[in-house]
Structure 1
Amino acid sequence: MGIIASYLMPHPPIMIEEIGGDETEKVLKTVEAACFVGMEIEHFSPDSIVLISPHGPVFQDAIFIYDFPLKGDFAAFGAPHVKLEFEQDEELKKEIIKKANEKNVPAVKSTEIPLKKYGVKEELDHGAMVPLYFVSKYAKNFKLVIMSFGLLPYEDLYKFGTAIKEAAEITGKKVVVIASGDLSHRLTPDAPAGYSPKGKIFDEKLVKCLENFDIEGLYSMENSLIEKAGECGLRSIWIMMGSLDGIRVESKVLSYEGPFGVGYCVARFLPLGEGESKLEKLYDKRRQNIIKRREKEDPYVSLARKTLETYVKTGKIIEVPEGLPEEMLTQRAGVFVSIKKHGQLRGCIGTIFPTRKNIAEEIIQNAISAGCEDPRFFPVEPEELPELTYSVDVLMPPQKVNSKEELDPKKYGVIVRKGRRTGLLLPDLEGIDTVEEQLEIALRKAGISPHEEYEIERFEVIRHY
C-alpha cells in the first residue's frame, strides 16, 4: 500500500468544546471540517497515521521523532479529564528513520536526546493532541508515528516527506499523513502575535497553493512575507507535500477562517495515481537561484565570497586582488559581512569603525570572521560553500540621536550603548519593520535592559548583494 490520504489540520484548543465552551461556536466551520476529516479517516481505515506537529521539540538540523509513550491530556487548557493515548507504530517509525538517513536528512528519536536537559516533557503537545482529538472521535484502530519538523531547508523537509512515502510502501501499510499547523497569527490588531498586513496576504497565497497543490507556488513565496505572517504550519505542510511526491493529487480546502486573528485551514489531499516528482526540481531551483545571484555579484560581495572559500579550503588569507574599484583600495570604513545558507543566517561579523587600511582589507578580515568566528555558529565547512550567499554592508559614520523619532529601521541601522555594553543592528533587515523591534533586538544583543538609560546612535550603510 502506501499513502492513502493526507490532511492539513489546525490545532487551537478552543476547537474542543470541553475547553472552548461557547467560544467554540466562533470556529464552527473549522470544527465541522475537522469532524469530516475524522469521519473520512475512519472510512479509509488506515493502519497508521503519521502526524507532524509544530509544537514538539524543534531542532535546527534534524527532524525529531517522538519515541516516548504517546499520551497526553488538556490539563494546561483547563480540561485535565480530556485524555488521549495511542500505540506507536514501531515498524513504520524505524523504516521512516532508515529511509531519511539514506537520503541524508537527519532524524533523531526522543530516546537519543536528553529531553530533561531541554525542559521537554514526555507527553503529547497540543499540536498533536487537537487534530488527534477529532480523528479519534471516529477512527479507532490505527497506530501512530509523531514527529516535529526541524528548521531544515524546505527542500530537505520535502525530501523527508518522500522518506515517509517510501516507508509506507515498503512496510505495505495504509498510511494517512496529517500536517498540524495554523496559518498566520497576525491577521487582526488583537491577534496574539500582533498585527501585520502581510498576514492576510500570506494566508491568501497559501490557501491558493493548497487548493491547487501548487508546490512551485509555495516554493516561490517570499521569505519576508513568511516571516511577517508569524505562521506555524508551513514546515509541516512541506513534509506532508513531500509524502505525496510523484503522485497526482486531488486537493480541496475544506474550510478557512480566522476569527481570533489566527488563520485556521483544513484541507484534504487524495492520491489519484502516479505523477511527476518535484524533488529534483526544487533542488535545481535552489542551485539556479544561487548561480543567478553569484552572476550578479559586485566586487564587494565577490571579494567576501572568494576570501571565505579560499580560507576554508586552504587555511590561507588571500591578498587584496588587482582590478578592484578605486574606492575599495583608498577609502576606509567599518564593514559587516553577512552569510546566509538556504535563507537562514549562517554568520555575521563586522566592524563599526575601520580597523584596516582600506575597505578591501576590512572585507577580507570580516568575511573570515563571519564564516569561522561567529560564536553563534560552527565554522563553515568546505561542503557548505556552494550553498552560501553573501552581502556586504559598508557603514557610514554613526550619528547620535536624541529621540526614537529620528530612527527608521529601513533607512538607518542602530547602535545602543551603556558603558562598555554595545549592541548594533543593521538597517533594512527582513522581518524588522518598526523602531521598537529594532531597538529591542539591539538592546538584547548588548545585554541592556529596556528600562536602563542608554545612548542611541544611527548610521546608514551602502549594501552590496
Structure 2
Amino acid sequence: MSIVATFAVPHPPLIVPAVGHGREREIARTIDAYREVGHRVAALAPDTIVISSPHTEMYLDYLHIAGGAGATGTFARFGAAHDGARVAYDEEFVQEICRRARATGLAAGTQGERDPSLDWGVLVPLHFVLQGYRDLGVPIERKGGLPTVPCPVVRMGISGLSPAEHYRLGRIVQQVAEELGRRVVYIASGDLSHKLKDDGPYGFSPDGPVFDDLVCDAFRDGDFLSLLSADPGLCERAAECGLRSFQIMAGALDRTPVAAELLAHEGPFGVGYGIAAFTPAGPAGSDEARAFGEQYDAWHAQDLKRRREAEDPWVRLARFSLESYVRDGRRVKAACDLPSELAESLPEELTSTRSGAFVSLKKDGQLRGCIGTILPVRDTLAEEICANAISAGCRDPRFSPVEPAELDELVYDVDVLSTPEAVASVEQLDPRRFGVIVSAPGGRRGLLLPDLDGVDTVEEQVRIAARKGGIDPAEDGVGFERFTVTRHL
C-alpha cells in the first residue's frame, strides 16, 4: 500500500461553527468542498492520516514531527474550548520516518517539541474528517469531551529549509507507507496569500492574487514543479502560509500519476482558501515525468548559475571576499588581493569613494546573514564591502557561520547607503524609498533597509528597526533618520 489520496486544504478557524458564529456562511464554497474532502477521507478508510501544518513546531533548520502516543487540541484561543479533537499517533510510522531521515541526512525528527497540543492547522482539517466519518455512520469515540479520530495520525511541521528538503520529507512519507503496508491519506494544511484585500487582516499586495493564481494553477494541473520553484520574494510579499506544506505533499506523490482537482478557491476575508484533491492514477514510482524533486534540482542549479552570471562588480567583490575567507581563511583588504580580472572590473566608485554598505546573504530564499555599516569606517567602499561580506557570513549572531558547502548556494545583495538625515516624524518615511534608523538614549540604534519583501508600511518598518535596537518606539527621546540605498544584485 502507499498514498491513496492527498488533499490541500486551508485552516481558517472561523469555518468551524463554534468559532465562526455564522460568518462561516460567507465561505460556503470552501465549506462545501471541505465536506467533500471529509467524505472522501472517511470513504477511503485509511490506516493512517498524515497531516502537515504551518502552525505546529517550526524551526529554521529542522522539520519537526510530533512524537509520543497522541495529543489533543481545542479551539480555546478562538473562544471555543469545548470544540476540538483527540488523536492517537502512528508511533511506528513516526519512528520509521525519523530513521529514514537520519539515514539520508535530512534534518527531521521529534526533538524540540515545546507545545504538544494540536494546532488549528490540524484541528480544522480534522473537524471535517470527523464529520465525514459521522456522515458514513462510523462511531466516534469521545474521551475527555473530545472526539477521537478513528485512525492513527502523523503530524508534521514545516521549516526554513529548502523546497527540496520539504519534498524529500514527502518522499520519505511515501516510502514508509509502502514499507509498512499502510493505506495513507496525506493532508497538506495551509492557507494561500494573506494579502488579497485592503480591508483584510494583512492588507493588500498585488502579489497576493498572483500567488493564489500560481498555486491554484498547480492544484488544477497537478504541476508541482511550480510549487517548488515559486519566487521566494513573491511568496514573502504575498504573505503566503501553506506553500511548504504543499511541497511536502508533492513529495508524497513523487513519480506518481495523479488525477488533480481544484475543488474550491475563494478569499472573501482577504486570505486565500484553496482546496484540492490528488488521486493516484497509477502505482507510485511509475511516472518519471513527475520526478519533480529532480526537476527542481536541475532548475535550481540553472537559476543559481544565471544569478551568478548576472552579478555586478559590487556583488562579485562581496562573494569573492566571503568565499576566500571561508575556504582559505584569507581576508581581502585591498585591490591587490583580488584576481586581476575582478580588480580590473571594479568601477572607480568602489576604489576611490567611501560609503556605508550592507551585505545580505540568502539561501533558498531565506535570510542567511546581513551585516553592514551605517557610515564608512574603512578607506574605500570596496574595503567596506569586503569586510562586511565576511561579517554577514560569519558574524551575524542570528546564524551559525557559513560553511564551505553552502557557498555555491548563496545569493548576495549589496546595499550602498547614502548619508542618513534626521526627520521630524515618521510622516517623512516611506518603507519602499527610505531605510530607517531608530535611535534612543543610551546609544541604542536599530536599522532597517528599504524595499524589503513583506515590509509594506511605515509602522511595520519602524517597529522592526526599533526591535533590533531594543527600543520602544513610544519611549521618550526616540529619534528617526532616513537614508536611501543603491542596491546591487
Normalised by the length of structure 2, the TM-score is 0.89
Per-residue Cα deviation, 1:70-114 (whole angstroms, up to 9, x for no partner): 2223333333333422222122222222222333221121xx326
Distance 1:457 1:187 in 2: 32
Q: More deviation in 277-286 or 214-223?
A: 214-223
**What is residue 259 of structure 1 aligned with on the other side?**
268
Residue 99 (1) aligns with residue 122 (2): no
Shift of 1:364: 1.6
Give 3-state SS (helix, strand or coil) of 1:247's partner.
coil
Give the residue type in structure 1 aligned to 2:98.
I
Per-residue Cα deviation, 1:110-169 (whole angstroms, up to 9, x for no partner): xx3262xxxx2x221111111112112234642211111112111211121111111111
**What is residue 182 of structure 1 aligned with on the other side?**
191
Q: Which runs of 4+ in 1 moved over 6 A?
A: none
Distance 2:317 2:196 in 1: 42
Give the residue type in structure 2 aligned to 1:308.
L
Q: Which runs of 5+ in 1 are unaligned?
A: none
**What is residue 132 of structure 1 aligned with on the other side?**
126
Alignment of 1:31-110 (within 5 A): 31-68=31-68, 69-109=70-110
Say if 1:49 and 1:144, in contact at 8 Å, map to a contact too: yes
Give the residue type in structure 2 aligned to 1:168.
A
**What is residue 484 of structure 2 aligned with on the other side?**
460
Q: More deviation in 170-179 or 149-158?
A: 149-158
Shift of 1:246: 0.6
Say if 1:103 and 1:159, in contact at 8 Å, map to a contact too: no
Per-residue Cα deviation, 1:341-392 (whole angstroms, up to 9, x for no partner): 1111111111111111111211121111111111111111111111111121
**What is residue 377 of structure 2 aligned with on the other side?**
355
Residue 397 (1) aligns with residue 428 (2): no
Give the residue type in structure 2 aligned to 1:281.
Q
Give the residue type in structure 2 aligned to 1:95.
E
Distance 2:367 2:34 in 1: 37
Say if 2:239 and 2:454, in contact at 8 Å, map to a contact too: no
Residue 113 (1) aligns with residue 117 (2): no
Give 3-state SS (helix, strand or coil) of 2:156's partner.
strand
Distance 1:70 1:417 in 2: 46
Give 3-state SS (helix, strand or coil) of 1:416's partner.
strand
Residue 367 (1) aligns with residue 389 (2): yes
Q: More deviation in 94-103 or 54-63?
A: 94-103
Alignment of 1:435-450 (within 5 A): 435-450=458-473
Give the residue type in structure 2 aligned to 1:79.
A
Residue 232 (1) aligns with residue 241 (2): yes
Alignment of 1:205-284 (within 5 A): 205-273=214-282, 274-275=286-287, 276=289, 277-284=291-298
Shift of 1:210: 1.0
Q: More deviation in 138-147 or 287-296?
A: 138-147
Per-residue Cα deviation, 1:147-198 (whole angstroms, up to 9, x for no partner): 1111211121112111111111111111110001112222223322333343
Quote the sequence identity (%): 46
Distance 2:202 2:428 in 1: 26
Distance 1:327 1:145 in 2: 57
Give 3-state SS (helix, strand or coil) of 2:35's partner.
helix
Shift of 1:405: 4.0
Alignment of 1:144-163 (within 5 A): 144-163=153-172
Residue 423 (1) aligns with residue 446 (2): yes
Distance 2:78 2:244 in 1: 25
Distance 1:351 1:186 in 2: 33
Distance 1:114 1:225 in 2: 31
Count residues in correspondence.
Answer: 458
Distance 1:383 1:222 in 2: 23
Distance 1:459 1:18 in 2: 49
Per-residue Cα deviation, 1:233-281 (whole angstroms, up to 9, x for no partner): 1111111111111111111111222232222222100111221211111
Distance 1:114 1:127 in 2: 16
Say if 1:99 and 1:166, in contact at 8 Å, map to a contact too: no
Say if 1:57 and 1:148, in contact at 8 Å, map to a contact too: yes
Give 3-state SS (helix, strand or coil) of 1:138's partner.
helix
Say if 1:196 and 1:229, in contact at 8 Å, map to a contact too: yes
TM-aligned CA distance change 1:16 to 1:156, over 3 Å: same
Q: More deviation in 99-108 or 306-315?
A: 99-108
TM-aligned CA distance change 1:80 to 1:285, over 3 Å: same
Residue 309 (1) aligns with residue 332 (2): no
**What is residue 343 of structure 1 aligned with on the other side?**
365
Per-residue Cα deviation, 1:275-307 (whole angstroms, up to 9, x for no partner): 121111111221211111111222221111111
Q: More deviation in 317-326 or 4-13?
A: 317-326
Say if 1:128 and 1:180, in contact at 8 Å, map to a contact too: yes
Say if 1:421 and 1:448, in contact at 8 Å, map to a contact too: yes
Distance 1:22 1:352 in 2: 52
Give 3-state SS (helix, strand or coil) of 2:445's partner.
strand
Distance 1:124 1:330 in 2: 59
**What is residue 431 of structure 2 aligned with on the other side?**
409
Q: More deviation in 160-169 or 218-227?
A: 218-227
Give 3-state SS (helix, strand or coil) of 1:137's partner.
helix
Distance 1:24 1:325 in 2: 60
Give 3-state SS (helix, strand or coil) of 2:11's partner.
coil
Give 3-state SS (helix, strand or coil) of 1:409's partner.
coil
TM-aligned CA distance change 1:402 to 1:213, over 3 Å: same
TM-aligned CA distance change 1:81 to 1:330, over 3 Å: closer
Shift of 1:415: 1.8
